[in-house]
Amino acid sequence: MNQGMRSSSSSRSFWQSLLYITSLTIPAVAAPLKVSDLRVDFHPSATKASPKSTFSWKISSDERGKRQTGYEIIAASSAERLTQEKADLWKSGKVNHSQRNMIKWAGKDPGIKKTIHWKVRVWDENKEAGAWSEPATFETGLHNKLPKAARVSTFESSSESLNALYNESVGVLEDRLTKFTEGEEGALGNGAQVQRSARALLFNFDATPHLLEWIHLMDKYRVADVLYPAAMGTDVPRSHSTANSDAGISVTHPLWWMSGNNLVAKERWADFEKYLIARYEADKLYKGLQWGSGYELEGTPSRFTELAYFGLVTRFARELSRPAEQPLNVFRFQDYAARIKNSFGEQFVGEDGVMKIPSQSAGLLALRSAILSPEQQKPVITALVEDITKNGPKVGLEGANFLLPVLTLTNHHDLAVKTLINLTPQQMNAFAGNGTSEWLISMLGGIDAQLAGFASIRIAPRIPSDDSLTWVKTSYDSISGKISCHWEKQGDGLKAVIEVPAGCLAQIYLPKKKGQSVTEGGKSLKEASSVDLMSENDTTVAIAAQSGRYEFLIK
């Protein structure tokens, strides 16, 4: 990620670019939008809906620049009544809005144990209404039966070892999800295990209902109104590790970010506050005092780990304060974070800037938890890179979870790729089933959200500068629709085929060299439709794009 890249004199901000390209005229002959994948509470077959439920759908089109500008929902007590004239439970009328996720029920109370029929149609940017969706049904007042979690991603590359690692990682996750779906409460793992794999689960499977159910079970077995259990379905004593307890907050974060579900943050905010205040009361001087039974990460003392995780969960809570509509709490958690950072530096960073705990996992946790000052980060990164380059990855499950994103986000992406390609079978066990498959999609493939729920998308593939990889092809069927990125090196140039789903806007960042030009579909960016140049320099080109399929060539 080249977030600090220099803008050219002709560059413009992302939002300025989007304002420009969305103002372009769309031909009047454009086909109307199609509506599909109707859901209640993110559930494809909900049986526990209520007047508090929320509704969502996806839109699609084969054309560029298509977006929703209005919608209409009708709901009825029978299939025969599901018409605009006869619908007896909900007639929204036309609502002029682009929203198609987290829409609250606004009809009559349907009662319990009722089968409700509903459908949707939408209007596009030309104010043209599309056809009604296929009808969908849900039931009220019963317990949701978890559906089988469908696959929502693909990944292939020129490296057979990476392909094998991806498939093995997805297989591990699928096995856990299947057992959990079938009723084995502890199958997804304890808090620490689910923290490590939550984003990977969401990037690879339609797992939002499953993680929501997992959080519900964590609440059910919560200890002393604050601490979360080490395992599901058992009476767990107060003494247990912070990594499990933190999951009550840390798993909520990717759920919100990936699904756009603000309610999960709003409804749990009181618990977040109670938990973090209890952490503070137990360690007012931020010394890393033992929380529960303490937690040692791969040879590090518990004080180190406790303080690092306190910093990490504080960062998650600070970011969740926005969807929870608790803006003033940002200041409280910023104060927590500053005090944790100061205390950590005094205890665990030497005068020479080198960490007193020399293990790779310790350095990775400190960097990922954002508890080092910028001045402290540099020597820690240098020592870590030297150690991994010389000795390979010497990490367990948690260190493996942090290693790849830390190397990529500190501009050592080539080392991350080389490390992963050259894993031994024993080392591979630490990486499979963690966040590795998510890193392959979001870093190598470059697919991630710019705004929660993928309302806006960031596509920024991290492409190795050497020949360790020559191509990557990946896709992710997000809550907002299917996103794909296929990049391929062509000599000194690059070809990138990218798909942005209908109704979404994207920031696209691609590498380029001095003197190279960028075209889309054989045309300059100025001539191509639905795209606009944001900025470019000698290393990167940044492009704003509406929905559609694009073929960029850099040479």
Phi, psi of 363 (to 5 degrees): -60, -40
Q: Which of 91, 113, 139 is the last residue of a domain?
A: 139
Helix, strand, or coil (residue 131): coil
CA angle 111, 112, 116 (to 5 degrees): 75
Cβ-based neighbour number of residue 499 at 10 Å: 17
What's the structural domain count of the chain? 2
pLDDT tens-digit readout, 183-241: 998 899 888 889 999 999 999 999 999 999 998 888 887 766 666 666 665 554 444 56
Helix, strand, or coil (residue 494): strand
| Pair of tokens at residue 300 | 């590090």
Pairing of strands 531-536, 481-490: unpaired
Q: Rounded to 10 degrees, what is the CA torsion of 216, 220, 225, 227?
A: -70
One domain for residues 467 and 490:
yes
- Least Cα distance to 503 among 64, 68, 127, 125 occurs for 68
One domain for residues 474 and 525:
yes
Determine, yes or no, domain membership for 73: yes
Q: Where do the H-state alpha helices sit in 182-328?
A: 191-204, 208-220, 242-245, 247-250, 252-259, 262-282, 302-320
Q: Rounded to 10 degrees, what is the CA torsion of 322, 325, 331, 334?
A: -30
Phi, psi of 412 (to 5 degrees): -125, 45
Q: Which of 106, 139, 172 is the last residue of a domain?
A: 139
Place of tokens 């690059």: 494
CB neighbour list of residue 155: distance below 8 Å, 6 or more residues apart: 163, 166, 437, 440, 441, 445, 472, 473, 474
Question: How high is the pLDDT of residue 12?
Answer: 62
Q: Where do the H-state alpha helices sit in 14-107?
A: 14-21
Determine, yes or no, domain membership for 402: no
Q: Assess contact for 147 and 44: CB atoms under 8 A.
A: yes
Structural domain of 490:
14-23+449-554
Q: What share of the chain is helix, strand, coil (3-state, %, to 5)?
A: 35, 20, 40
Q: Assess contact for 17 and 534: CB atoms under 8 A.
A: yes
One domain for residues 453 and 544:
yes
Residue 412 is classified by DSSP as: -
Q: Which of 83, 118, 139 is the last residue of a domain?
A: 139
Residue 89 is classified by DSSP as: S
One domain for residues 499 and 522:
yes
Helix, strand, or coil (residue 84): coil
Residue 43 is classified by DSSP as: B
CB neighbour list of residue 280: distance below 8 Å, 6 or more residues apart: 336
Determine, yes or no, domain membership for 158: no
Distances (CA, A) of 439 to 77, 162, 396, 432, 443: 45, 11, 17, 12, 5
One domain for residues 18 and 95:
no
Q: What is the 3-state secondary structure (H, E, C) of 372-387?
A: CCHHHHHHHHHHHHHH
Give the strand order in the sheet containing 481-490: 153-157, 471-478, 481-490, 493-500, 548-554, 518-520, 523-524
Q: Assess contact for 362 and 347: CB atoms under 8 A.
A: no
Determine, yes or no, domain membership for 526: yes
Query: What number of residues does the chain have?
Result: 555
Determine, yes or no, domain membership for 506: yes
Biggest alpha carbon distance in the chain? 76
Could you give the CA distance from residue 38 to residue 124 in angstroms, rounded to a whole number?
18
Q: Assess contact for 189 and 243: CB atoms under 8 A.
A: no
One domain for residues 18 and 43:
no
One domain for residues 19 and 115:
no
In sequence order, what are the beta bridge partners of 545? 506, 531
One domain for residues 499 and 532:
yes
Determine, yes or no, domain membership for 418: no
Q: Report the CATH number at residue 476.
A: 2.60.420.10
Helix, strand, or coil (residue 393): coil
Determine, yes or no, domain membership for 414: no
Distances (CA, A) of 227 to 222, 240, 307, 327: 6, 8, 17, 25
Determine, yes or no, domain membership for 435: no
One domain for residues 550 and 453:
yes
Q: Report the CATH number at residue 81.
A: 2.60.40.10
Could you give the CA distance from residue 107 to residue 548 in angstroms, rounded to a whole number?
34
Pairing of strands 456-459, 505-511: parallel
One domain for residues 82 and 18:
no
Which stretches of the chain score pLDDT less than 70? 1-30, 223-241, 292-295
One domain for residues 18 and 103:
no
Could you give the CA distance from residue 252 to residue 269 in angstroms, rounded to a whole number?
10
